[in-house]
Structure formats: structure tokens, C-alpha cells
Structure 1
Amino acid sequence: MECQECHERKATLHFKHIINGQETKISLCEVCAKKKGYLSYPEEGYSLNDLLSGLFQKDGLNLSSAGTTKSNQSQELKCPSCGRTFSEFKKAGKFGCANCYASFGSKVEPILRRVHAGNTKHTGRIPKRAGKYIQQKQLISSHKEELKQLIEEEEFEKAAVLRDKIRELEKENHQNKEAGDNT
């Protein structure tokens, strides 16, 4: 579809206006859309920093340092390892070191929850070759946690059944690992 304004370039933006219940659709190229004032982003586009800034602003965190007072600056979160402040993190969009996440975690976690659909822990992906072995190992680990809970609750019959299941999975996992090492 060509631009309805210049009739030279391909229309990449489509707008719908509803005025007094009457709908009007217009398709424009990016150049004409900028001329008409439909686009207001900077020439270089948006950076990751702009994205993070927008996320912090949505949570009510002020990014500008103009409104901060000396008392706020002295109470501001600071990483004990690298000395980076939370304001510097917000401005740069990057942590200074590995310990910054622990230092700023309470303020960053709600944002990560929203961005990652409620997940704050990276579980990674499992390689296809070792997938079954790793999944069984994770299952054994979760069963062991459940076993501890059953023992604390004095559910010894259920704990015995789960213990046997863990032993069976460990034996199977050991055999699969040895078979994988031989190939």
C-alpha cells in the first residue's frame, strides 16, 4: 500500500481517527507521518535506557535528579561493592557489578516481575542432549524438598513412599548418565 500523502513511498503507518462518530483511516510513510506530526520520537529512536526509564517512571520513581534534596541523596541506596547509587543505575540502565542486584533488588524486583510476566528467577533453557538427565535431577531435588516437609509434618508413610521414588529416580538417572558417557 502506498502513502496517501506523497504517493511515492510505501505506507508503513496506519492511523484511525474517529471524530464525531465518523471514522477516517489514513496510511502514511514514515517521512510524511513525521511532517504531519504523528510521530514524535527522536531521530535515533529509543534506546534500552529509554525503555528502562519508562518502566521506572511507571512505578512512580522520579528519574530526574533536579528534584532530589541533600537528605534524599544521603539516604539513597548505594552498592557497597562498586559504590554505584540507585540514581546512577536508573540513569545508565546498567548495574555496576554483580552485587548491585542484591543491593537494589527491592526496587528492581517489581519492575522485573512486570516485564517478565511475574518471573524474577532465571531458570535458563535445558540442552536437548542432556535434557532428560537435567529434568530428572530437578525432579529429584524438588522431591527431596517435599520429603523434608513430610518428615517435619510427621507424615512418615508418605515420606517412605517418596523416599523410594527418589531412590528409583536417582538409580535411573545414574544409569542414563553412564549410558550417555559411553556413547
Structure 2
Amino acid sequence: MLCDSCQAREATVFVTKETMDGRKEYQLCEKCAFESNEGKYSMQPQPMTMQQFLGNWFGQPETVSKVRPYQEASILCTNCQMSYEQFLKKGRFGCEQCYETFSEQLPNVFNKLHNGHERHIGKVPAYYPEAFALERKIKEVREQMNEAVKEERFEDAAMLRDEAIRLETQLSSGGDSNDN
């Protein structure tokens, strides 16, 4: 199968993108995938403004005002004085303090942006670094450990702490597993 981009080389990278318009699939050679960034996986999602999201979701660009038919007391950022409504209209925060100011409203907004998923759930390239997987596992183990402490399951918390330390050691040594 030939590359969709150059039509000259064999396609070895297969990319599937989920967009608001549906699923798009590309078959690219390694060179075209590298040049277009299609074959690279990033832990950071591509940014989409709130206006783009709402425009795609509801089919028109000026839907921000229609989404909220009633006016709540406007929340203002104490640093830049941006209101939540301005954030929705602009699609970007005014400063780093906005994240904290609007923290209660953000989970629903970000959930909708990522189709309800908090992290990437699709396939990843074969060259997906093991370090990312280890970092994700360490974070999961730490969250489980904190939950065990809250529930006063201290033996479980200690085992999870030891597991996190083992994974951190593995990560610092380059990702090689020492006990397998």
C-alpha cells in the first residue's frame, strides 16, 4: 500500500484520528509521517479553543451565548479579571490563576473536549517510550496509595508505596526492569 501523502513509498504508519466530523484514517510512509507529525504521539493533546469545540458540537460558531440561557453570578479571576463567560467565548485563559479560579467548572468542560476520557485510550506507535508508560503507572499507584491511606488501609498503602518506589527506581535507571 502506498503512502497517502507522497504516493511513492510503502505506507508503514497507520494513523486514525477521531474528530468531530468522524474517524479519519491515513496511511503514511515513515518519512511523511515524521515530517507531518502524524506518526508521533504526544502526551499533550492538541489544543482546541472552547469556541471551536462548541462550534463543532452545536454546528454554529456563536453558540456560546445560547448554551447558557440563564446568567449566573459571574465569577471573575482575581488576577486578570477575566470572567467565566469571557473564557468560554475566547476559549483561552487570561492567566495561570484562571485555572484555580474556574476549577469547579472545568471538569465538565474538559470531559466534553476529550469525549469523557481523561487520558489517551487508543493505540500508540511501537516506538512509544516506556518512560511514559512508567510515569503513568507511578501516578496510578500513588493515587491508589493515597486512597488506601484515606480508607486507613495502611498495609496496602505501604505495599503501594514500595511499588511506587520500585517503579521510580526503574524509571531513573532508564526503564529497564530489574526483577523480571
TM-score over 0.5 for the pair: no
What TM-score, normalized to structure 1?
A: 0.43
Q: Which has the higher helix share?
A: 1
Structure showing greater Rg: 1
> TM-score, normalised on structure 2?
0.43
Higher RCO, 1 vs 2 (CA within 8 Å, ≥6 residues apart): 2
